[in-house]
Amino acid sequence: MTRLYKYFFRGLITVLPLALTIYLLYIFLAWTEAVALTFLRPFIGGFYIPGMGLALGILGILAIGYLVSKQRVQRVLTLLEMPFTNLPVVKSIYSSLKSFADYFSPGSKNTAQQVVILRLPGQQLELVGLITRRNVDGLPEGFTQGDRVAVYLPMGYMIGGYTVFVPQEWVQPIQMSVEEAMRSSLIAWMARAESPVRPPAANASDAPAAPSSSSDNSGGPA
C-alpha cells in the first residue's frame, strides 16, 4: 500500500505541471480565438481557420510594439495613461505593474538589475535579492547617505517582498540571471531530493587476507 501511495503522488507531481501548463495555454488560445472571431467575423463571414486567433494576437502584439517605439505614439499613449496615473487607487496599481514590467523589459535602460547575496555583518544568514538602485540620489530626506544600494528581497510563491537599503559591501553579486532568480524564489528555492551517494563496494582483492591454517600448523608437532 505504501508503494502504491508513493507511485500515485510521484505520477501526480509529474503530470500536474504539464496538465496545468496545457490547460492555461488552452484557455489563452480559446480566449484569443474568441476575440479574433469577434473582430474578423464582419470581414470574413463564415470563413475561419483554427489558429487565426493566435496569429492575430501575435501580429497585434508586434504592431503595438512597433507603434509604441515611435515618439508620436508615445505621446498619445501618455495621454491615454492619464486616467490610470491620476486616479487615487488605480494609480497605485497601474504604476506598480508598469514599473515592474519596465524593470524586466529587454529594452529597459535600468542597468541596476543584478542578483546578489545579502550578508549581514556577524551573521551566517544569506538572503538572495535583486539590486534595484545603486545609490540614494534623488530620494527624499531621511535616508542614510553614503555608498548604499537598494536590494529587493522576493518572498516565496510571489506573495510579496521587501526592499532594504544596505551598504554596498554587504552585497556580493552572483552569476545568475534575474529571471532565474525570480523563478527560484517563486518555488522557494526548492530542489529535488537526490539519492544518497553510496560508497563504492570494496573489492575482494582489497579485503585483508585470512591467516592460512597450513602456515599456523607448520610449526606444530607432527
What the block records as the C-alpha cell of 23 is 490547460
**Would you say residue 207 has pLDDT above 50?**
no
Of the listed ranges 3-12, 62-71, 76-85, 103-112, the one predicted with least confidence: 103-112
| pLDDT bucket at 216, cuts 50 / 70 / 90 | very low
120 with 181, same domain?
Answer: yes
Phi, psi torsion values for 168, nearest 5 degrees: -60, -35
Which pLDDT score, from 0 to 100, does residue 86 have? 80
pLDDT at 116: 92
Pick from 162, 154, 167: nearest CA to 115: 154
User: Does 219 reside within a domain?
Assistant: no
How many domains are there within the chain? 2
Residue 70 burial by Cβ neighbours in a 10 Å radius (0-12, 13-18, 19+): exposed
DSSP state of 156: G
Q: How confident is the model at residue 212 (pLDDT cuts 50, 70, 90)?
A: very low
What is the residue whose three cell numbers read 486567433? 53
- The conformational region for residue 59 under phi > 0 = left, psi -120 to 50 = alpha, else beta, is alpha
Q: Which residue range forms the structural domain that includes residue 143?
A: 114-186
Query: Residue 178 maps to which CATH number?
Result: 2.30.30
**Which helix H or strand E contains 168, and what residues bound it?**
none
Same domain, 119 and 56: no
* pLDDT attached to residue 191: 67
Are residues 119 and 178 located together in one domain of the fold? yes
d(CA 62, CA 113): 26
Does the structure show a pLDDT above 70 at 15?
yes
